Structure 1
Amino acid sequence: MWHNRGRRAFTVLELIIVLTVLGMLAGLATSTHKNTARKSRETVLRHNLAQIRLTLDQYNVDKGRYPDSLQSLVDEGYLRDFPVDPITRSADTWEEVLESEYSDEDSSYEPGVFDVRSGSDERALDGTFYYEW
């Protein structure tokens, strides 16, 4: 005959409680990590937008007009390469915003790119759309 004197074992109920708590902690860690990664991508997007806009303004100061396209910034040496949109994970999804057409008689004026937006239609953590930034 075998006796379990002096030995303490976990009951099934205790094991279920421990596994439930561990599962909840793992779920919390996963959602926290997901939001942290997304917040990091949003920070990079804000930085990239600010840098591109500063470069567009510098181009305008130097040349007296805005560039015909964003690619002109790379072609003319204002940027080494065009940054990747961290939300869409592509450098090809940026949306160019052209200057408003002038209302004067000069129909030969070609509006240039004076702003840029993300090509993503997703919402940010603050509820706004990335393309509104």
Structure 2
Amino acid sequence: MTVRKAAAGFTLIELLVVLAIIATLMSIAAPRYFEHLDRSREASLRQTLLVVRDAIDRYHSDIGKWPDDLDTLVAKRYLRKIPVDPVTERSDSWLLVPPPGEEEAGVWDLHSGAEGTAKDGTRFAEW
């Protein structure tokens, strides 16, 4: 009598079951991952706006006038570099706001140049 040796490896059914389980787990995890990325971009944008607005205010307090542009803040060492908008991923998309009701030119505030809305329903350009 001969003894049959069992074949090593997985069957096609076993592989399909494992792939189905992996696909199910990915369909649950992927939306949460992308939602987390969106929330982190929004938090990063809020923090960036806070830091740059603080630098603008410190410049105005020290120099007595508003900066001409963001490059002025970098040149005077109020910022290390012009920050990147986390939503648009560009540093040239900022919307610069001049001082209200003053003849003086300069940057009084800035907003994100990103189109679209945040999770709370507000537009990025209004932040």
Q: TM-score range by the shorter chain?
A: 0.7 to 0.9
> Deviation of residue 112 (structure 1)?
1.8
What does 1:100-119 align with in structure 2 at a 5 Å threshold?
100-102=100-102, 109-119=103-113
Alpha-carbon deviation of 1:65? Answer: 1.4
Structure 1 equivalent of residue 117 of structure 2: 123
The residue aligned with 1:85 is: 85
Give the superposed CA RMSD: 2.3
Deviation string 1:5-29 (CA, Å, 9 cap, x unpaired) is xxxxxxxxxxx99876654432221
Task: Calculate percent identity across the aligned residue pairs.
Answer: 38
CA distance in 2, matches of 1:41, 1:118: 12
In structure 1, the gaps of 5 or more residues are 1-15, 103-108
- In 2, Cα distance between the equivalents of 1:110 and 1:132? 23
Residue 50 of structure 2 corresponds to 50
Distance in 2 between the 1:80 and 1:21 partners? Answer: 48
- Please show how residues 22-101 of structure 1 align to structure 2 within 5 Å: 23-101=23-101
| Secondary structure of residue in 2 paired with 1:34 | helix
Instruction: Report how many aligned residue pairs link the two structures.
Output: 116
Q: Tell me how far apart the structure 1 counterparts of residues 117 and 20 of structure 2 sit (CA, whole Å).
A: 32
Is the Cα–Cα contact under 8 Å of residues 118 and 130 in structure 1 kept in the other structure? yes
SS in 2 for 1:116: strand
Quote how far apart the aligned CAs of 1:127 are: 1.5
SS of the residue corresponding to residue 89 of structure 1 reads coil
TM (norm. structure 2) is 0.79
2:61 counterpart SS class: helix
Which sits farther off after the overlay, 92-101 or 19-28? 19-28
Q: Distance in 1 between matches of 2:74 and 2:22?
A: 51
Q: Distance in 1 between matches of 2:28 and 2:110?
A: 36
The answer to which of 78-87 and 21-30 deviates more is: 21-30
